[in-house]
Structure 1
Amino acid sequence: MVIRPHDLIEVSNLKYLSFYEDKEWVTASLRRAPFVVVRRAGLLANSHIPVGIRGTERNQRESALLDPEGVCQLVSPYAIAERQMWNCLSATRRQQPVLQVLDLLAEIMLDWRWGPVGSAGFEIVTQYPTVKETSDLDLVIDGSEVIDYAAAERLVHKLEHLGVRIDIQLETRDGAYVLREILERRASTVVLRTSSGPKLVRNPWQ
């Protein structure tokens, strides 16, 4: 089983989760939607999966470790896009701005391997309403191979006209970059987000 940052995992039983600090809202949230998101830090540390738990409020985020035995279902951001899983949401929920643009986004992103993460990805997979009117749309793009800078600039330009703020992380074999940073700083260093912390890198693919 290949597990990557941003993957959503349905937990079969809460007994498989180890919390750093047990808070009342954490258990309540997991009972409503027993899903966690894979964190980048220390991936598969001590054979356990580092995960994050979302609450109903923006400041409610909790780190935990998940025993692999507790993985009931795993959904990657790329699978969400490939299956266009947002079509399973109710018509009412799809009126939220970041969910409303997904069909058009899928057409624009035809030449890219991509997927929604953050609140949009979470709601699409869990069917639990987490997206708000003011939510940004967070995406990941597969950057395991060197990207075409001109094509990436055209993509960013098209996305700017969708009416919602879109933030894109480029996922490489070594970690993740913010796509805009790569495009703006191609002649200097950019920040690579790795499992051991951020690093300054001059060439994203070396």
Structure 2
Amino acid sequence: MRVCATPPFSAEAIDPADTSRAESARWRAHDLLRVLRLPRTHEEPEWVRAAFARAPWAVVRRARGADGFVAVGVRGAERDQRFGTWLHHQDIESFCSPEELIHRQPQAGRSTLPPFVALALLRDMPSALRDVTWGPTGSTGFELATGLPTLSATSDLDLLIRLPERCEPALIHALANTLAHAATRANTRVDAQVETPAGGVALAELAAEKPRVLVRANDGPRFLADPWQPS
């Protein structure tokens, strides 16, 4: 996030026994929340209120919070307009996960945009994706959830792939090859983040078989040799 609000709770209010694993939370990173009320903060940029009026949605981000609060990001109309803030659970009306968006259709006249073309290819072609849980995130997921035109012809397709259990390297390579094939056919870029027990890891880093990978967890990023090894 370019700007983040001060948490509406003290550090002492965070349960030290809480794990940072994405699977343990009621709402997980990249889930989209339909919001009833967005509390004002003195750090919020000027564009936030207009963006929220246009689309009362927020994206769950990775950060540890006190009981009853979830860290979210608000999207503006411009690429650099991102604001990190906090919601109380009572201010959330409904939510949808990335995997729930796979079969949603774009608004009329939008399906020819490259990210939507790539998503349709990945959804319909036989591939390693059939063996995992996955879905669109980023601008693609936001547009499918809200119906608000968000993508452009130069947008990438961002995906989340859930791999809660260790898998063979062959599956990682098969997934990477599948995404590369769809990206070439759709003339766009396809990036995927793999959700592991330790947090989110770029599929490209796993496919490169690096000795350590950057893991994005709720309590901050770290380099780990094995994101499936219990901490």
Partner letter of residue 36 of structure 2? S
Q: Does 1:19 align with 2:41?
A: yes
Partner of residue 204, structure 2: 180
Question: 1:80 Cα shift?
Answer: 1.4
Distance 2:42 2:31 in 1: 21
> TM-score normalized by structure 1?
0.90
Judge conservation of contact 1:20–1:63 (CA < 8 Å) in 2.
no
Distance 2:132 2:58 in 1: 26
Partner of residue 107, structure 2: 90
**Greater fraction helix:** 1
Partner of residue 59, structure 2: 37
Q: Does 1:155 align with 2:175?
A: yes
Question: 1:20 Cα shift?
Answer: 5.4
Distance 2:209 2:41 in 1: 39
Judge conservation of contact 1:9–1:71 (CA < 8 Å) in 2.
yes
CA pair 167-139 structure 1, distance change in 2 beyond 3 A: same
Distance 1:200 1:39 in 2: 19
Distance 2:93 2:62 in 1: 20
Question: 1:152 Cα shift?
Answer: 2.0
5+ residue gaps, structure 1: none
Distance 2:71 2:208 in 1: 32
Distance 1:5 1:136 in 2: 19
Give the aligned CA root-mean-square deviation in angstroms: 1.6
**Structure 1 residue ranges (4+ consecutive) displaced by more than 4 angstroms after TM superposition:** none
Partner letter of residue 135 of structure 2? G
Partner of residue 60, structure 1: 81
CA pair 148-52 structure 1, distance change in 2 beyond 3 A: same
Judge conservation of contact 2:113–2:153 (CA < 8 Å) in 1.
yes
Question: 1:161 Cα shift?
Answer: 2.2
Measured against aligned partners, the alpha-carbon deviations of 1:168-193 in whole angstroms (never above 9, x if no partner) come to: 1110122111111112134x111111
Partner of residue 32, structure 2: 8
Partner of residue 158, structure 2: 138
Distance 2:119 2:209 in 1: 29
The alignment of Structure 1 onto Structure 2 pairs a total of residues equal to: 198
Partner of residue 106, structure 1: 123
5+ residue gaps, structure 2: 1-24
Measured against aligned partners, the alpha-carbon deviations of 1:50-106 in whole angstroms (never above 9, x if no partner) come to: 10000000110011110100110111111212xx11x2x223111111012222211
Alignment identity in percent? Answer: 38
Judge conservation of contact 1:18–1:65 (CA < 8 Å) in 2.
no
Greater RCO, CA 8 A, separation 6+: 2
Partner letter of residue 153 of structure 1? H
Judge conservation of contact 1:13–1:70 (CA < 8 Å) in 2.
yes
> TM-score normalized by structure 2?
0.81
Partner of residue 3, structure 2: none
